Amino acid sequence: MRILSLAIIFLMLSKTFVTSEQIVLGLSQDEVAITANFDGSQILLFGAIQRDAPEPDGKMGVIITIAGPSKPIAVRKKEKRFGIWVNNQTVEVDAAPSFYAVATNAPFSEILLDVEDLRNKISIERAIRSVGAPMHIEDSQSFTEAVIRIRKDQKLYQLLESKILVDRNTLFRTAIDMPANLTEGDYFTQIFLTRDGKIVSQFDTTIDVKKVGLERFLFNLSRQNPLIYGLMSLAIAIFAGWVASSFFRYIRHT
Amino acid sequence: MPSLDLAVVAIDLCVFIKLSETMQIYLPIAEVSVNAFLLLGLGGFVGVLSGMFGVGGGFLMTPLLFFIGIPPAVAVATEANQIVASSFSGALAHLRRKTVDLRMGTVLLSGGLIGAVLGLYVFNYLKALGQVDLLVKLCYVVFLGIIGSLMFVESLNAIRRSRSETNVINRTNRHKGLVHTLPLKMRFKTSGLYISVVPPLAVGILVGILSAIMGVGGGFIMVPAMIYILGMPTKVVVGTSLFQIIFVTGFTTLLHATTNYTVDIALAVLLLIGGVIGAQIGTQIGAKMQAEQLRILLSLVVILVCLKLAMDLLIEPAELFSLGKLGT
């Protein structure tokens, strides 16, 4: 009974603690449209911390994460066979976000405790989950690391330490660059406010990334009506080839 | 005023580079963003070569697409689509001149359709195993290697022969034995042949397989096979092979589009436009140069592309791991 009441008090305390500081967020855009000349996008995130009490003590941290849709991927490792390098071992990584960016206002380890990271899966390493690697593969860890390394190279995974600017401990803003090869879907965006490494407030929103216009039409048609798409591709290609060559014949004859 | 001209050209070039920096185009199926002028330029470059040498150019275009970062599966399927278009106007011209053996073309075509299905089956099986890139690249190394070196030796010999002025043309005994002993004989009026349908069918199947796996028309195999194995007159060879190529690559395009969703029409159209313009320039250049020199040049290009592909397979890659989609 005593334990229960303690727990209730603790809950109430933590609740009041949470509400004393709150995040209010603004986004430069909540939609990213992939068009024909899409070569990446920059998203501006800005917000304020609302307080109904004087600012508590402790080092304040702001962490922003953007996670693209998670899809299982096959990670393949090349090995030398008969003198050439061929894909040999395959490990399935069950859930790896197609895009993941973490921005902070200070070095990551200074503003987030490891337990909080473990619970909320904030750092890039924790955001990727790999279970069920086949038993015969010894270092399945290296496959997960490869996902992070390759996607970091492609700017699909980004750790942006100290890239959030905080003004007078209330206003914050950052810009996150998204590369051209984005996967369509809802990009889950989270903002965490921390005090001494503990999360005190959290704000969630989504950014919609989608192909629009012709790009969307072609992509959808190719998946939903592949036969019609194929016939259309042939017709367009033949027509374009015919027009171009008759145009040149016309030029040569005049 | 040559200096003024030069200045104008330099300014044009600057404007072009400035423009090209911003002309990124997002390819909807390949899901990569590529510079549109790079694609037009690639199409143009291969177009010049195909105009100069009278080859389709698929066997050069597909590996070049690998080099600029298009996924091999998309490169193969899209290239098949482009070849349909580039062969179409050529075949029309030959039909008008009546230099197409329609009957032979139909036999080759039936083989080609069977081959395309076989090739696509192998392609998709290896794709599921994650080995399709390797299959495509190995095929290219082997075929480009053989063709490049054969062509190189052939044209070196031709140059040597023309220098020694002997001009011995040795074309008396073609190997006609096999073609005449096999059953199922058929009369091909346009070619003036009475031969078994088995060899043309086999040639068709081989070309169909290559078309599905490598995204090529297969003219570089079919034309010599028609001349040396089937003994067809040179006059009808090109038209008949173009006729076959249109339908087989068209069929391959549909197979790839419906099973792999890898045909990128935006990519195909850009390459096509560059290709048509390039071919016009290439034909002009080709008319002014000597055939042997041209052939040596082409064989060197082929060998170069082959070596680059081979190096990628032989040298330890900087990144041993690669990411792929599951279940595709």
Q: Where are the domains of chain B?
A: 2-314
Secondary structure element (H or E) that encloses residue B323, with its range: strand B321-325
pLDDT at residue A11 above 60? Answer: no
CA B60 – CA A215 distance, rounded (Å): 28
| pLDDT, position B34 | 83
Model confidence at A33, pLDDT cuts 50, 70, 90, reads: confident
* Domain identity same for A220 and A206: no
β-bridge pairing A157-160 and A100-104: parallel
pLDDT at residue A231 above 50? Answer: yes
Q: A233–B257: do the CB atoms touch at under 8 Å?
A: yes
Residues of B in contact with A32 (CB under 8 A): none
Residue numbers in chain B where pLDDT is lower than 50: 1-2, 4, 6, 9, 13-15, 17-18, 167-174, 327-328
A75 within 8 A of B328, measured Cβ to Cβ: no
Is residue A120 in a domain? Answer: yes
Helix axes B58-67, B198-214, angle to 10 degrees: 20
Helix axes A226-253, B72-96, angle to 10 degrees: 50
* Domain identity same for A64 and A74: yes
The phi-psi region of residue B261 (left if phi > 0; otherwise alpha if psi is between -120 and 50; otherwise beta) is left
Chain B's closest residue to A235, CA to CA, is B85
Question: Bridge partners of A45?
Answer: A27, A174
* Domain identity same for A123 and A190: yes
Nearest to B107 by CA among B210, B178, B198: B198
Backbone angles phi, psi at B137, to 5 degrees: -65, -40
Q: A85–B314: do the CB atoms touch at under 8 Å?
A: yes
Cα A16 to chain centroid distance, Å, stands at 31
Residue B313's Cβ-side half-sphere holds a number of Cα atoms within 13 Å equal to 22
Taking each continuous run of H as one helix and of E as one strand, the counts in chain B are: 12, 5
| Cβ of residue B24 closer than 8 Å to a chain A Cβ | yes
User: DSSP assignment, residue B225?
Assistant: I
Is residue A8 in a domain? Answer: no
* Domain identity same for A65 and A131: yes
Question: Bridge partners of A86?
Answer: A79
Residues of A in contact with B40 (CB under 8 A): none
E-strand ranges in chain A read: 21-27, 31-34, 41-51, 60-67, 70-81, 84-97, 100-104, 157-160, 165-167, 171-178, 185-195, 198-211
List A residues 65-124 in contact with B (Cβ-Cβ < 8 A).
71-80, 83-87, 90, 92
The arrangement of strands across the sheet holding A185-195 comes to: A31-34, A198-211, A185-195, A60-67, A100-104, A157-160
CA B291 – CA B29 distance, rounded (Å): 40
Question: Could you give the dihedral angle defined by the CA atoms of residues A150, B78, A246 and B289, in that order, rounded to the nearest 10 degrees?
Answer: 70
Total domains in the fold of chain A: 2
Q: What is the pLDDT of residues B152-207, one digit of tens each?
A: 888 888 878 777 755 444 444 445 556 667 777 778 777 777 888 888 899 999 99
Instruction: Give me the DSSP letters along A127-141.
Output: H-B-----TT-TTHH
User: DSSP assignment, residue B218?
Assistant: -
Backbone angles phi, psi at B232, to 5 degrees: -75, 150
Q: A215–B31: do the CB atoms touch at under 8 Å?
A: no
Q: B263–A244: do the CB atoms touch at under 8 Å?
A: no
pLDDT at residue A17 above 60? Answer: no
The residue assigned the tokens 């395309």 is B116
Secondary structure element (H or E) that encloses residue B26, with its range: strand B24-27
* Domain identity same for A245 and A128: no
**B17 Cβ contact partners less than 8 Å away, ≥ 6 residues apart:** none
Residue type, A68: G
| pLDDT, position B111 | 93
β-bridge pairing A84-97 and A157-160: unpaired
The residue assigned the tokens 């075949």 is B91
- The lowest-confidence range among A19-28, A75-84, A207-216 is A19-28
CA B138 – CA A139 distance, rounded (Å): 29
> Which CA distances in Å does A85 have to A80, B74, B311?
4, 22, 10
What's the full length of chain A, in residues?
254
* Domain identity same for A140 and A247: no
Choose the mutation target among A225, A234, A248 for the interface with B, i.e. most B CBs under 10 Å: A234
User: DSSP assignment, residue B54?
Assistant: -
Q: A76–B324: do the CB atoms touch at under 8 Å?
A: yes
| pLDDT, position A1 | 47
Angle at A124 between CA A122 and CA A128, to 5 degrees: 95
List the structure tokens of A93: 């990584």
Chain B's closest residue to A231, CA to CA, is B254
User: DSSP assignment, residue B186?
Assistant: E
Range of the structural domain that residue A229 is part of:
212-254
> Which CA distances in Å does A69 have to A183, A231, A253, B125?
7, 31, 56, 28
What is the CATH classification number for the domain harbouring A141?
2.60.40.3880
Chain A's closest residue to B275, CA to CA, is A241
Residues of A in contact with B280 (CB under 8 A): 248
Backbone angles phi, psi at B132, to 5 degrees: -70, -35
- The lowest-confidence range among A72-81, A183-192, B68-77 is A72-81
Question: Bridge partners of A208?
Answer: A31, A186
Backbone angles phi, psi at B308, to 5 degrees: -60, -45
* Domain identity same for A130 and A150: yes
Is residue A3 in a domain? Answer: no
Q: A227–B257: do the CB atoms touch at under 8 Å?
A: yes
* Domain identity same for A131 and A44: yes
| pLDDT, position A12 | 43
Q: What is the pLDDT of residues A100-159, one digit of tens each?
A: 999 998 888 888 888 888 888 888 888 776 555 555 666 777 888 888 888 888 888 888
* Domain identity same for A63 and A167: yes
* Domain identity same for A63 and A95: yes
